[in-house]
Amino acid sequence: MSENNDLFKEITEKIPFYKRTKFWASLLIFFIGLALVLLFYKTVIQDTMSDKEVSESIQIVWHDSIWVDKKVRPDEAIIVPAFTFKIKNTGSRPLQYIGFNCIFIFEESGENLTDGFVETIKKPLLPGQVSEEIFVKGFFGYRATSKAAFIKNMANWKNIKMKIYAKTKNSGQVLLGVFPIQKKISGIKIIYQDQEESK
């Protein structure tokens, strides 16, 4: 009888939880799940910037504009508007992989002339830092027989302005500002009437 009791005792005796396979399997699943949650937070949630944060994190601190050659042939010259600028990270997180979309429009009518796009800031731009120069040029512009023809007709050029938008990999497009495009052509110095060339 005592042997039966001992056998019954062994069968019903609880196995310590740390010796159970089910415990270790559950623990492993828990840690895998936790790692996936942390990875999702790091790669998706933490890296996501709202449109408002993008707007508050990017400040254009310097800019210049000019018209540059797109294509030159013996019988034709084409120039397109270009915009060069620097940004400052005014936010609390590093900026990286920012796309800038420039839309060049006629000031009077608001119609589009052309647009240009560049993705830049490959290396993280830390809070407070200023970027290198960023260059964007349009796809279309003015056509003439030569650069000299552009100069002769410059008084009739319509004023152009440019809207610049920024976009991170997870945000929408955010308007950073509107800037006039100067009537300057790369490589040509224009001397206006009553203006002497500086020596």
- Domain membership of residue 10 (yes or no) is yes
Residue 96 lies in a domain: yes
- pLDDT, one tens digit per residue, over 8-42 is 555 555 666 566 677 677 777 877 777 776 665 45
Same domain membership, residue 156 and residue 64: yes
Residue 24 lies in a domain: yes
Residue 30 DSSP code: H
Task: Return the bridge partners of 164, or none.
Answer: 102, 177
In a domain, 194, yes or no: no
Answer yes or no: do 6 and 104 share one domain.
no
Q: Is residue 186 part of a domain?
A: no
97 with 161, same domain? yes
Structural domain including 9 reads 2-45
* 25 assigned to some structural domain: yes
Give yes or no: residues 78 and 176 share one domain.
yes
Q: Exposed e or buried b for every residue in 99-108, given b needs 16+ CB within 10 A? A: bbbbbbbeee
> CATH number of the domain that 79 lies in?
2.60.40.10
Taking alpha carbons only, the member of 137, 118, 32 closest to residue 78 is 137
How many structural domains comprise the chain?
Answer: 2
Q: Split the chain (199 residues) into runs of 10 and give each run's mean pLDDT.
A: 53 60 74 68 60 95 94 81 97 95 95 95 95 96 84 86 94 95 83 42
pLDDT tens per residue across span 62-74: 999 999 988 767 7
Query: Whole-model pTM above 0.75?
Result: no
Question: Distance from first CA to last CA of the chain, Å, rounded?
Answer: 121
Are residue 34 and residue 92 in the same domain, yes or no? no
Alpha-carbon torsion angle 124, 40, 172, 125, nearest 10: -10
Q: Are 101 and 165 in contact (CB under 8 A)?
A: yes
Residue environment code for 13-44, b if the CB has 16+ CB neighbours within 10 A, otherwise e: eeeeeeeeeeeeeeeeeeeeeeeeeeeeeeee
